[in-house]
Structure 1
């Protein structure tokens, strides 16, 4: 796994890089360090998000802060927002090469490099957040994720979750399938490919550039996350039709990725600190997203006159059919993609009956 990347960052170099004297840039707040002859280990985290963006940007910062605190000051991780050190969609390459020891992003952004990576964020009509976590932790997903990233010298962790998304903001209502034809829509992941089958032109734009693209009519509509993150980016100032459900991203797992050589160069207790800082964030971020999305949805409706709409049934059913067609073709790209898809579907089938029973409609009102 590591051999391919040793030319970029050997174990000794990784530890030396990490353990160099504190210099160059403000260090994040950390507890006082006990008297020790060991130098503080300095890491850099690059992200795909604007700094402190509600949702994923905050998750990235908390992971850094948590490592600083849990290590009792033995480690400091400095966060670089999208574009500060590397562009938003070059986070994986930066971590793989050792330009940064950590990254925070979404696995679906690496589909051009590894088609199977999309499954570790979400796919249309796929696993819900609690089901996705069960797949990763209990049903073999983490092993497959590790194997997929291993040739690049990268170790992945779940490092946040923005929950299910909305399907996007539109300038004009979507009442029929014909209303989608010819539109240019910012939609990342396989959802964009599904929309392409309905005559939409999907465009993948970094979070920091979405508002301007919508404002200048580069795109006719945008899809990003849920009400909390979307309203923070200001989409409600430009358009008023907000559609759901988010068929394209029923889950929102964010990833914390680590350069494998740098990770293995840490003492075992600090390796555990890095892993658990990501794990805690996966849980905290999802609960935060659920609470904040609910509150933000009300604000959008009551204070910004946003119309919350659902896709008509015929549009939604067509989207599901087209999603199956896209996945059938997509999963033939290579053996790894097919194997991961089969594991993903097996998990969905294993979990679906319990999800349907335990999360049935109106369960809170049952006697």
Structure 2
């Protein structure tokens, strides 16, 4: 879903707000140390007002765990800089922290797209955690970010990424009879099975489905489809086992800023961020479970998952060609797929 994040949130950014924000960013390279030794950090996330509550929990937990010594001011998507410029702003010191998604800076960092999620790279939460924590991907990403002047905290695993269709789909053969909206990386896999694909942005989903311009789409989970009110026109949901978690976000901190934070508060930030990331993922789980009752659930057979994994190798190889580091990350993913029996 690498091309979807820029459309995930429908809010509009006004020039006036950005102009005021730029003025407010004149001095943000280092954490602000008040006389009581409180550290104030300015952070931007890519999400909008719908997630104010969950991010306020993060702010509150940091303050509580640090006895009030850490204060984070979080700005919504686009309020300070456009979302696709957050990473550059973080590296320059214009932003001190960001809640981001590697797909936004795929052209600036060789492992960003791999980090955010490639088709069939992992198929359940346990695989993703094993890849990050045991097979070395988390350490590789942290080292790669550090080379770019950025401190990587923890991955934030997202929600589902499956098929919504107007008619039941329970095999790749049945999918080949439909016209499916998909991102380019997913399309590269599905087209090998004769599936006709097209890319359209989320704001066009409802009209495209209702006018039969498309028969289905791969975008998110039951919660995402329900929020977009697509359940009014399509109620067949197919678990693809193509990518779960369907995306991986992150919390990043400017390295110069990080190095100036006392070690005890660095530990607070790391621990609280890890706890909050788990909490955030669990909310995705709860939201999707609550929305499932609005759909008829189907699944592809395990044999189709293996076929798709083989087909995804060209997508993986394209990422591996970006650099030796990218190739190392892909090799971790490929070896895990072999160990799990998804790849010969």
Kindly state the Cα deviation for residue 131 of structure 1 after the two structures are TM-superposed: 2.4
Query: Which residue number in structure 2 is paired with residue 160 of structure 1?
Result: 156
RMSD value over aligned CA atoms? Answer: 3.3
Question: Equivalents in 2 of 1:113, 1:196: separation in Å?
Answer: 28
TM-score by length of 2: 0.74
2:242 to 224, 244, 247: 247
Query: Which residue number in structure 1 is paired with residue 331 of structure 2?
Result: 342
1:149 to 128, 145, 162: 145
1:123 to 118, 122, 133: 118
TM-score by length of 1: 0.70
User: Would you say the 8 A contact 1:242–1:309 is kept in 2?
Assistant: yes
2:64 to 46, 55, 69: 69
1:316-331 mapped onto 2 (5 Å cutoff): 319-331=308-320
Instruction: Identify the range of structure 1 (331-340 vs 313-322) with the bigger mean alpha-carbon deviation.
Output: 313-322
Query: Which residue number in structure 2 is paired with residue 332 of structure 1?
Result: 321
User: Would you say the 8 A contact 2:220–2:246 is kept in 1?
Assistant: no
User: Would you say the 8 A contact 1:196–1:202 is kept in 2?
Assistant: no
Instruction: Identify the range of structure 1 (169-178 vs 108-117) with the bigger mean alpha-carbon deviation.
Output: 169-178
User: Would you say the 8 A contact 1:170–1:242 is kept in 2?
Assistant: yes
1:54-93 mapped onto 2 (5 Å cutoff): 60-93=55-88
Query: Which residue number in structure 2 is paired with residue 97 of structure 1?
Result: 92
Question: Equivalents in 2 of 1:150, 1:39: separation in Å?
Answer: 26
Kindly state the Cα deviation for residue 201 of structure 1 after the two structures are TM-superposed: 2.8
Query: Which residue number in structure 2 is paired with residue 43 of structure 1?
Result: 41
2:29 to 2, 7, 14: 14
1:139 to 111, 135, 139: 135
Question: Equivalents in 2 of 1:63, 1:238: separation in Å?
Answer: 36
Kindly state the Cα deviation for residue 342 of structure 1 after the two structures are TM-superposed: 1.2
Corresponding position: 1:217 with 2:232: no
Question: Equivalents in 2 of 1:346, 1:267: separation in Å?
Answer: 39
What SS class does the counterpart of residue 47 from structure 2 fall into?
coil
User: Would you say the 8 A contact 2:151–2:252 is kept in 1?
Assistant: yes
> Kindly tell me: are residues 268 and 312 of structure 1, through their superposed partners in 2, closer, same or farther at Cα, counting changes over 3 Å?
closer
Corresponding position: 1:290 with 2:285: yes
> Kindly tell me: are residues 193 and 277 of structure 1, through their superposed partners in 2, closer, same or farther at Cα, counting changes over 3 Å?
farther
Q: Deviations over 1:339-360 (max 9, x none)?
A: 111123334555x38x9xxxxx
Question: Equivalents in 1 of 2:333, 2:304: separation in Å?
Answer: 25
Question: Equivalents in 2 of 1:335, 1:283: separation in Å?
Answer: 31
Kindly state the Cα deviation for residue 47 of structure 1 after the two structures are TM-superposed: 1.7
Question: Equivalents in 2 of 1:109, 1:13: separation in Å?
Answer: 22
For these two proteins, the number of residue pairs brought into alignment is 306
Kindly state the Cα deviation for residue 329 of structure 1 after the two structures are TM-superposed: 3.5
Question: Equivalents in 2 of 1:238, 1:39: separation in Å?
Answer: 55
Query: Which residue number in structure 1 is paired with residue 254 of structure 2?
Result: 259
What SS class does the counterpart of residue 220 from structure 2 fall into?
coil
Kindly state the Cα deviation for residue 52 of structure 1 after the two structures are TM-superposed: 3.6
Instruction: Identify the range of structure 1 (320-329 vs 334-343) with the bigger mean alpha-carbon deviation.
Output: 320-329
Kindly state the Cα deviation for residue 134 of structure 1 after the two structures are TM-superposed: 2.5
Query: Which residue number in structure 2 is paired with residue 281 of structure 1?
Result: 276
Question: Equivalents in 2 of 1:136, 1:316: separation in Å?
Answer: 22
Give unmatched runs, 5+ long, in structure 2: 1-26
Question: Equivalents in 1 of 2:154, 2:53: separation in Å?
Answer: 15
